[in-house]
Chain A
Amino acid sequence: MEFTIINNKKTEQLSLKKNLTIKELLDEIEKPLETVVIKKNGHIVLEEEIINEGDTIEVIQIIYGG
């Protein structure tokens, strides 16, 4: 399954064997949930949200330092 990730304004195409949740994705890219807001296809979503084929996931870092 393929999806688009916009992280730190860089857009990338990722392909994975199985569907991940937002939380699993954040663990994967080593971003603590407390410091980011996640949008899926333009809407803010919770960590339990599942990423599906063709989704666009935007990682917005809202807390820096510490």
Chain B
Amino acid sequence: MNCTKCGKKEVMIEKKHSGQRLCPECFISGIEQKVLKDIRKYDLIEKGDRVMVALSGGKDSVMLLDILTSLQDRGIIDMMAVTIDEGIHGYRKDGVKIAAEHAQRLGIEHRVVSFKEYFNISLDEIMALPSPRGACTYCGVFRRWLINRTAREMGATKIATGHNLDDETQSIMMNYLEGNIENLTRLGPRSHPKSDKFIVKIKPLGEIPEREVGLYVVAKGLKVHFDGCPYSRESFRAEIGEIIKNLSKKHPTIMYSTLRGFDKIKNALKKEHSRNFTMENCIKCGEPSAQELCRACVFCQELEKKKTR
């Protein structure tokens, strides 16, 4: 059986739920069109935006960079990139190198910023301290802080991240199962920050399944860092991810339906559950925060105590 779209013999994917079989060219152009359509549908990008891509060098962010490049080439946006170096031995270095190569190839401004230089401690050093929290907790808080700070410094109007459909579905299920309804109200393809010091975040790949992201970069011959973070197994997210991936084998549309269902209840959730609070500036670092100290600064203080113990 040949490509359902063009009839070519070389089929590389069969979409289980639609029965569509696609050759590399039709698969690639189909995905690109889908992402560009979602960008319009969810109003993710406006003409003149300065879009900073959070570029880890992994498949998701490299694919995102590749697709957004077409918007830059058409003069619709300006692009730049940031890579966060958390300080994870044996893992992050390759990603940073690949990210830098892509940025250089495309001629876009690229910055590498590390936990060590901003928070005076690497993730590995944090995890070697007595009774730390989960690695992903520090990692998430520090990374968000750094990405937002860097975006402001680089004059970005949008931050684009490579979250894919699997990530989004995991976030929905995780927050639901943990009863974090307020966090649920903040999910979605674009953020609506309460402070203008927070740059708007967009997720153009939010409806592309993770496996298709992998297929895309391999089919396009894009160089990416395929490797797992040594801390990822410890997380609740990984457990949920495993469950959803297993469910998807027999129920290939389950991630789409989870997302669609969430879309339907999201507005109602927002009305009932989003907290109204005013954002002040963190007294230590000046970033916006609902509390006196932002979470990054709270963690830094906590870590200082652990260090001197």
Which residues on A are within 8 Å of B, measured CB to CB?
34-35, 37, 39, 43-46, 60-66
Contact = CB atoms under 8 A, between A and B. Distances in A.
B248 A34 contact: yes
Contacts of A60: 214, 218, 226
Contact of A44 (B12, B228, B238, B241): B12
B63 to A, nearest CB: 11
Interface residues of B, number: 30
A45 B12 contact: yes
Contact of B232 (A39, A43, A44, A66): A66
B210 interface: yes
A65 B245 CA distance: 11
A66 B245 contact: yes
Given A62-B59, A65-B228, A65-B232, A34 B245 contact: yes
A9 to B, nearest CB: 10
A60 B238 CA distance: 20
A48 to B, nearest CB: 9
Contacts of A44: 12-13, 24, 215, 218-219
Interface in B1-35: 10-14, 21, 24
Contact of B228 (A37, A39, A64): A64
Contacts of A43: 10, 12
Interface string B126-150: 0000000000000000000000000
Q: Give 9 closest A-B pairs by Cβ, nearest first.
A: A64-B228, A62-B214, A66-B241, A65-B232, A44-B12, A66-B238, A66-B242, A65-B228, A37-B218
Contacts of B59: 62
Given A61-B226, A66-B232, A46 B245 contact: no
Given A39-B218, A44-B215, A62 B12 contact: no
Contact of A62 (B226, B233, B238, B249): B226
A34 B213 CA distance: 12
B229 interface: yes
A46 B10 contact: no
Given A34-B249, A37-B218, A46-B13, A62 B211 contact: yes
B20 to A, nearest CB: 12
Nearest to B249: A34
Nearest to B11: A46
Contacts of B218: 37, 39, 44, 60, 62
B239 interface: yes
B227 interface: yes
A45 to B, nearest CB: 7
A46 B12 contact: yes
Given A34-B249, A46-B14, A65 B241 contact: yes
